[in-house]
Amino acid sequence: MILVTGGAGFIGSNFVLDWLADHDEPVVNLDALTYAGNLNNLRPLEGDPRHIFVHGNIGDAALLSDLFTRHKPRAVVNFAAESHVDRSIHGPEDFIQTNILGTFRLLEAARAYWGGLENKSDFRFLHVSTDEVFGTLGADDPAFNEETSYRPNSPYSASKAASDHLVRAYFHTYGLPVVTTNCSNNYGPLHFPEKLIPLVIHNALKGRPLPIYGDGMQIRDWLYVKDHCSAIRRVLEAGRLGETYNIGGWNERANLHVVTTLCEVLDELQPRSDGKKYGEQIAFVADRPGHDRRYAIDARKIEAELGWRPAETFESGIRKTVRWYLDNADWVENVTSGSYRNWVEKQYA
């Protein structure tokens, strides 16, 4: 039995689905079902006794204690987080509550449970984090590696950096068997359409502007979510305790290049009815405050130690992603209704 937190969100639900496709080991899935958590992501698991869903928050100490006592997981995989930079700029408190205090309470519950285990060496706590904790890079700077200093520049990345430090401290202070992963920008199926790639796909198909911050030359390393999930499984299986592992796709691309590539794939797979190109919908908007210019992940450590490399190129992953959104219009319509739609129209009007 493993305990997955945030398992109804984008990366978490992909992880749970992939885990149960490859393993018979059950999953207890704890998710608060905030705006980005969606039970529809887990619909293929309806009626599957290996999947135990619990609606709750990682900040609920009593609930966490009960889950550890009742289910006795051998591992925790912590995806639970508020994760959108724009939202952290406009409302940072939720990020402090979930990413810092929530991680603290999860660590405390795990430590109390682990302390009572007879075979303490069998337990693992895997904390999923982001490359944004490292700050920004210049055009010629080497990519982030596991020794790069933390320099977070947004409330989101600062809250994730704090959670990473807590996890490290619980290893060095208490001996809790932890491992941390720091990933680059994920994309793929089940991605809530506030982030660049799903937002562009959704807006393109609706005939809306495709918003690009500033000059669009902000560079990110893009990681297909299924590759990320396979890396996490490998780290959980064989990662060294107390270590961090960077997970990247070896796909540095400027945001403008990402959007034009999406437009080209859409032009091919679902052309506009008026015969025009989707690229004509591109609209440059004012840049995000404190927008980091470049992220890049050096993922050589996980390859050298654990033998992991991404299976998808940027081109193959983008094509799979567009195809998934075209084939799952009902899912997209469901998550883009109500409060989300109002938020998007306000931000990108």
Active site residue 48: no
Whole-angstrom distance, CA of residue 164 vs CA of residue 228: 18
The answer for 120, left when phi > 0, alpha when psi is -120 to 50, beta otherwise, is alpha
Find the angle CA(220)-CA(126)-CA(46) to the nearest 5 degrees. 90
Query: How many residues in the chain?
Result: 349
Whole-angstrom distance, CA of residue 276 vs CA of residue 263: 11
Judge contact between 309 and 246, C-beta under 8 A: no
Q: Which of 31, 82, 113, 132 is catalytic?
A: 132
Q: Which of 31, 82, 113, 156 is catalytic?
A: 156
Whole-angstrom distance, CA of residue 64 vs CA of residue 58: 7
Judge contact between 248 and 302, C-beta under 8 A: no
For residue 246, what are the β-bridge partners?
182
Q: Look at the alpha carbons of 170, 91, 228, 144 in this order and tell me if their dihedral is positive or negative.
A: negative
Q: Which of 31, 82, 113, 131 is catalytic?
A: 131
Active site residue 132: yes
HSE-CB for 57 with a 13 A CA cutoff: 13
Residue that has been written with the tokens 């109390």 in this structure: 112
Token couple for 17: 């689905």
Token couple for 9: 């969100």
Token couple for 159: 């809250």
Active site residue 170: no
Question: Could you tell me the CA-to-CA distances from 125 to 28, 88, 266, 286, 299 in Å, in that order?
Answer: 14, 26, 40, 40, 21
> What residues are annotated to the active site?
131-132, 156
